[in-house]
Amino acid sequence: MTNSLGSGSQRSAAPSTSAAESARLSGGPDEAEAMLLARLRALETAEARYERALGRSGITLFCQDRELRYLWLNRPLAGLGGDLLGKTDAEILPEASRGRLIALKQQVIDSGAAADGEVSLQFEDGVRWWDLHVEPDRDETGEVVGITGSVVDVTEYKESEQRLRLLMRELVHRSRNLLTVIMAVARQTASTSDSLEDFIAGFSERVQALSAAHDLLVQESWHGVPIMSLMRAQLGHCADLVGSRISLDGPAVLLTADAAQHLGLALHELATNAVKYGALSGEEGRVDIGWQFAEGEAGDNGSSTRRFHIHWIESGGPPVEPPKRRGFGQVVIERTVARALGGSVALDYAPEGLSWHLDAAAESTIVSDNGRRSGKETA
């Protein structure tokens, strides 16, 4: 097979001369020139179609000799620039990752059979994946004199596959955690319910609170939940009081998935208690909710631990009395959320209004600085 050399696209092989064309050639120079021009125009048309077809395809076509020197390419190889003609793969590809690609091409030369494969190559800007198809080139005697092949850069597809696998693993992990939480909610709700009706009502509301937190996670592609969005979702039927009898004040941050789930349950229980018995059960009470960061005590290495504080303070409602029995809601706002976030809770049933304070390590509650939103949110 004869290759068209140069930096441009590979040209189509000239069709064989037919008997009719041979007769025309013998007719004189004018007829021969006219036929030659016609054939050149046909070649130009075919090449233009070829260029249009491959122009945006991302496919690189190439020819190499038996020593794997590049004789022709229709475009630069992904991840490589400059003139590659006359150079071998061993000269232009990273040493640590070129072995499989060279071995695949050498296999085609040695066996005379076409081959396909995917290879990963470590370049300075990162890993690239190539999908290869290689065919043997033969001369008139049938001897393999080189190879012709195609390369498609499938890096984006490989990265998408990796993200999908990570997402599926995260989904399995989150699903197991969620089922564990739901089973715990069911057991605790059943142990503190006086009747089946009470259990169904309480359990349904708590599952809906969990669902609201997960809806927000899905909206944010599992990167985290904006704390203001979580507040509004868990306030539920009293969210219309935000800005009048409910104040929200703190920096705009993203909560981790675990923090959103457990903090969401605690906020739901606090809101439910406020509507039934606390500051929101009447016409004049109010709830102040705020959150902030603080530097904790220095550790053994001298670095300080960043803390995240959140408070819920009620005022203006009926006189508060401590509950006569320990229900599921109290377990959630005192123990569950503190244990899940590695923090502590201070709960005070003062006569003038219930107050709840959570102190937790910022690293277990807030998405890392690169993912955290900046600014301040107030409502």
Per-residue pLDDT band at 24 (split at 50, 70, 90)? low
The answer to whether 283 touches 241, Cβ cutoff 8 Å, is no
Residues 204 and 139 grouped into a single domain: no
- The predicted pLDDT at position 146 comes to 95
Work out the average pLDDT over 341-356.
95
Share of the chain above pLDDT 70, in %: 84
Q: Whole domain around residue 81: which residue ranges?
A: 19-153
Work out the average pLDDT over 287-312.
80
Q: How do residues 160-208 score in pLDDT, each as one tens digit?
A: 888 888 878 877 877 787 787 788 788 878 887 889 998 888 888 888 8
- The predicted pLDDT at position 309 comes to 96
126 in helix, strand or coil? strand
The answer to whether 287 touches 327, Cβ cutoff 8 Å, is no
pLDDT value at 30 more than 90 = no
Q: Is 374 part of any domain?
A: yes
Domain end call among 130, 153, 176? 153
- The predicted pLDDT at position 179 comes to 82
Residues 31 and 140 grouped into a single domain: yes
- The predicted pLDDT at position 255 comes to 93
33-47, 127-141, 341-355: range with lowest mean pLDDT: 33-47
Q: Is 358 part of any domain?
A: yes
Q: Is 5 part of any domain?
A: no
pLDDT value at 370 more than 50 = no
Residues 276 and 134 grouped into a single domain: no
Q: Is 7 part of any domain?
A: no
Residues 338 and 189 grouped into a single domain: yes
Residues 145 and 234 grouped into a single domain: no
What's the CATH number where 106 sits? 3.30.450.20
Q: Is 138 part of any domain?
A: yes
Domain end call among 113, 129, 153? 153
Domain end call among 124, 153, 182? 153
- Which among 217, 234, 235 has a CA at the least distance from the CA of 226? 217
What's the CATH number where 351 sits? 3.30.565.10
pLDDT value at 57 more than 70 = no
Residues 260 and 315 grouped into a single domain: yes
Residues 116 and 54 grouped into a single domain: yes
Share of the chain above pLDDT 90, in %: 36
- The predicted pLDDT at position 21 comes to 55
Q: Is 284 part of any domain?
A: yes
Q: How do residues 231-275 score in pLDDT, each as one tens digit?
A: 999 987 788 899 899 999 999 899 998 899 889 999 999 999 999
- Which among 370, 365, 378 has a CA at the least distance from the CA of 251? 378
Per-residue pLDDT band at 50 (split at 50, 70, 90)? low
Q: How do residues 70-111 score in pLDDT, each as one tens digit?
A: 998 887 787 676 788 999 999 888 888 889 999 999 999 999
CB atoms inside a 10 Å sphere around CB 91: 12
Residues 87 and 110 grouped into a single domain: yes
Residues 164 and 212 grouped into a single domain: yes
- The predicted pLDDT at position 1 comes to 40
Half-sphere exposure of 331 (CA within 13 A, CB side): 11
Number of domains in the chain: 2
Q: Is 12 part of any domain?
A: no
Residues 183 and 108 grouped into a single domain: no
The answer to whether 309 touches 345, Cβ cutoff 8 Å, is no
- The predicted pLDDT at position 182 comes to 84
Q: Is 9 part of any domain?
A: no
Q: Is 12 exposed, middle or buried (0-12, 13-18, 19+ CB in 10 A)?
A: middle
Residue 2 or 205, more confident: 205
Residues 179 and 149 grouped into a single domain: no
One-letter amino acid of 344: S
Give me the helices (H) in the chain, please.
19-25, 29-55, 89-92, 99-111, 155-191, 196-219, 227-235, 257-276, 328-331, 337-341
Q: Is 158 exposed, middle or buried (0-12, 13-18, 19+ CB in 10 A)?
A: middle
Residues 177 and 247 grouped into a single domain: yes
- The predicted pLDDT at position 67 comes to 94
pLDDT value at 300 more than 60 = no
Per-residue pLDDT band at 122 (split at 50, 70, 90)? confident
